[in-house]
């Protein structure tokens, strides 16, 4: 595996950054997880746009312009012979002092890892996930906007740990008001009486790339979609529930807090969304070859 760090490529064993990098010391940085299918990088431009938006919100100057970052991402995939894979693109504040101030970091660090990922075992896509509500609340927009995809994911990780303690494969995270925000790293959709519902971004959910794709697929299918506040009750009584994310793609949920969703099996609309999403990922994207 060849890993890109600030314009150079290193073998995995030799790919190193300073222990004084503020991405390591303080989680000061941003990242994107991107998927490649059939020698194409899916929604690359959308991911890069979100990366630069996140960096701007943190007043983090990315040392590459967008066109050069795009070229470097494609090149990293090419050098690693990626056909179907996963790209982790990171921009850290860079090497600095032990103090919090970013002023001690003269230049940001760019890292591109092109490899493989399997977020969930394949059986969960056919049988569905068991989900629990996490006691930890999603970070409030007044603290750090969930729209910023930062390197500090402790909020989500705590939710993931709490789900595991409950014997669940995934969690639902609520915001401070008790409304559904998202999963530990995925957006959430609910089907009820032929209509699809999803929490709006401002309640504490990341503006997911896959979320946007699914919203478009729902429109193409003539499926009404409503962005609105959702409570745990709305999840419990849903006909179907599924999660979306770059790593997870589209994955069904069949149980939440011990309540079966629908008949306890992945529903027809969810399966249709999974098929439509997979078909799209194989047809679109920035060519690697």
With CA atoms as reference, report the closest residue to 245 among 188, 287, 198, 186.
Answer: 186
Helices 66-79 and 44-57 sit at what angle, rounded to 10 degrees?
130
Please give the torsion angle defined by the CA atoms of residues 276, 32, 118 and 202, in that order, rounded to the nearest 10 degrees.
Answer: -60
Please give the torsion angle defined by the CA atoms of residues 272, 275, 280 and 281, in that order, rounded to the nearest 10 degrees.
Answer: 140
Q: Is 260 left (phi over 0), alpha (psi -120 to 50) or beta?
A: beta
CB–CB of 190/229 below 8 Å? Answer: no
- The residues with which 191 forms a beta bridge, in sequence order, are 196, 240
Q: What is the maximum alpha-carbon separation in the chain?
A: 57
Kindly state the DSSP code that residue 12 receives in the 8-state scheme: G
CA distance 190 to 234: 8
With CA atoms as reference, report the closest residue to 131 among 168, 162, 157.
Answer: 168
CA distance 201 to 164: 26
Cα distances (angstroms) measured from residue 93 to each of 23, 149, 256: 6, 14, 39
Q: Is 56 a catalytic residue?
A: no
Among 127, 149, 192, 195, the active-site one is 149
- For the four alpha carbons of 135, 176, 57 and 65, in that order, the dihedral sign comes to positive
As annotated, the active-site residues are 149
């Amino acid at each position: 595996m060849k890993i890109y760090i600030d314009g150079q490529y290193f073998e995995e064993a030799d790919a190193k950054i300073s222990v004084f990098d503020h991405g390591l010391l303080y989680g000061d940085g941003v990242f994107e997880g991107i998927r490649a299918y059939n020698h194409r990088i899916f929604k690359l431009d959308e991911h890069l746009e979100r990366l630069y938006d996140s960096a701007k919100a943190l007043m983090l100057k990315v040392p590459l312009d967008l066109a050069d970052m795009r070229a470097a991402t494609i090149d990293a995939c090419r050098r690693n012979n990626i056909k179907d894979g996963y790209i982790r693109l990171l921009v850290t504040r860079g090497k600095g002092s032990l103090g919090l101030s970013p002023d001690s970091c003269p230049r940001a660090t760019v890292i591109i890892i092109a490899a493989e990922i399997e977020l969930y075992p394949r059986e969960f896509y056919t049988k569905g996930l068991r989900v629990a509500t996490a006691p930890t609340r999603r970070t409030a927009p007044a603290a750090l906007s969930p729209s910023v995809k930062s390197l500090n994911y402790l909020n989500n990780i705590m939710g993931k740990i709490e789900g595991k303690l409950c014997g669940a494969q995934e969690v639902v995270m609520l915001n401070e008001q008790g409304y559904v925000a998202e999963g530990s790293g995925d957006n959430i959709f609910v089907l009820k009486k032929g209509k699809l519902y999803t929490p709006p971004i401002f309640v504490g959910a990341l503006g997911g790339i896959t979320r946007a794709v699914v919203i478009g697929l729902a429109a193409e299918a003539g499926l009404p979609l409503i962005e609105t506040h959702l409570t745990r009750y709305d999840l419990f009584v849903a006909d179907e529930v599924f999660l979306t994310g770059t790593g997870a793609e589209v994955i069904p949920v069949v149980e939440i807090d011990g309540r079966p969703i629908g008949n306890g099996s992945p529903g027809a609309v969810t399966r249709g969304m999974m098929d439509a999403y997979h078909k799209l990922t194989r047809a679109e994207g920035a060519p690697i070859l």
